[in-house]
Homo-oligomer: A and B are copies of this chain.
Amino acid sequence: MTKEFFTATPVNQVFDHISEFARVGDEKLPTAEACGRILARDVFAQTSLPGFARATMDGYAVRAAATFGASESSPAYLEIIGTVQMGMAAQTPVGHGQAAAIATGGMLPEGADAVVMIEHAARLDETALEVYKSVAPGANVVAADEDVAAGRKVLDAGSRIRPQEMGLMAALGMETIRVFKKPVIGIISTGDELVEIGQNPAPGQIRDVNTYSLAGCVTQGGGIARTYGIVADRLDALRHTCTRALSETDMVLISGGSSVGTRDLTLEVIESLPDSQILCHGIPIRPGKPTILAKTGQKAFWGLPGQIASAMVVFDRIVAAFVGHISGNALSYRQYDRIPAVLTRNLASVQGRTDYVRARILEHQGRFYAEPILGPSGLIRTLVAADGLIEIDMNTEGLEKGETVFVTLLR
């Protein structure tokens, strides 16, 4: 029955399915708590920033024209008419031949169009100022709308909020903002050999590593992990837990043994669920070939390999982009978030398959080197030792020692 489905989907075509899945809803959040969240609405500037012309240096606010031609040997002489208080508009306008003392951040008085740096002037007495250097109009000043002009779109919905975006929204007076909710991702482990991590495994048993690693992946990917523990390798039990998880979460990950039997069982469960469709059954990647992607209602349902390194690589390289999409993230994969490094040994691959090779990054005399870490994908230590993944394209037969490769970091 399942054989006919097993036409593997190349990895780039898997991503074509991303847009088929619904985004999560949004919520209102205090701006101070928004770091790392995804903006749900475009942000338009209600006001210009900084909102008034400001000094960028300590010195004297002047009309630039009054300083033209000034030099060490032939200073300009100006009348000091007062001091600009921080946080207040100047009391008196600055006329030609006049100056007002001003600190960095102070508001330029009416009439002034430049600031002479304190180093380029000398105060002779209470009211007399010598200026040794001419300034152009606009010198040492930011204009009222130089940071942001009112009405402009300043942030796009779907962008991730970093500290600087928090600052911008604070500057615009936004105390709360609309962000996408964090998607809840259900995690199910299946396999008769699994025991809870608090138990002592009997011979032939192993602890349920995948629930923990995948929960970490989900957290790191901006989601909330909801774990459903270990489910026995039986249709009724698995279907029951999957149905519950699909109703309680926004996406479900099952990681099961990578044996043919478990794969068939996952397929059977999917086929038994209402409104369910298998989109990918097998992806020509290594590790991770037996990956299954189905759509149940509007939700993605993943059958991940049981081998821990396979499950984590598939999450990092494929599932994370889907989590990003349903999280509202318009740019769920930063293309440049990978570094070039010199390969330290030959790596074999085969055409028609995309390989992800775990690698350690070494630095030597300012260059980065990628040292492949080889080993079966059931070994967790290979991932613990890894700083990132080297991708070998499906049209490439392998990579040679000394070549420059791109390493995407495993954070």
Which residues 166-222 of A sit at the B interface, judged by CB distance below 8 A?
166-175, 191-194, 197-217, 219-220
**Bound CA–CA A206/B107 (angstroms):** 10
> Is the Cβ of B86 less than 8 Å from the Cβ of A213?
no
Are A257 and B163 touching (Cβ within 8 A)? Answer: no
Copies in the complex: 2
Inter-chain CA distance A172–B233, complex, in Å, is 23
Counting chain B CB atoms within 10 Å of each CB, the highest count among A147, A306, A368 belongs to A147
Judged by DSSP, the binding face of A is loop
Residues of B within 8 A of A54 (CB): 378
Contacts A336-B363, A410-B162; is A384 near B168 (CB within 8 Å)? yes
**A124 part of interface (Cβ distance < 8 Å):** no
Asked if residues A142 and B56 are in contact (CB atoms below 8 Å), the reply is: no
Chain B residue at minimal CB-CB distance from A51: B201
Could you show 16 A-B contacts with beta carbons less than 8 Å apart? A34-B216, A35-B219, A49-B380, A51-B201, A85-B204, A87-B205, A105-B307, A142-B378, A148-B381, A154-B384, A164-B410, A165-B384, A166-B216, A171-B197, A175-B197, A336-B339
CA of A50 to CA of B308, assembled, Å: 12
A88: chain B residues at CB < 8 Å are 202-205
What total of chain A residues lie within 8 Å of the partner, measured CB to CB? 106
Chain A residues close to B by CB (< 8 Å): 31-32, 34-36, 49-52, 54, 56, 58, 84-90, 103-107, 142, 146-148, 154-155, 161-175, 191-194, 197-217, 219-220, 225, 227, 233, 257-261, 306-308, 312, 335-340, 361, 363, 368, 375-376, 378-381, 383-384, 386-387, 409-411
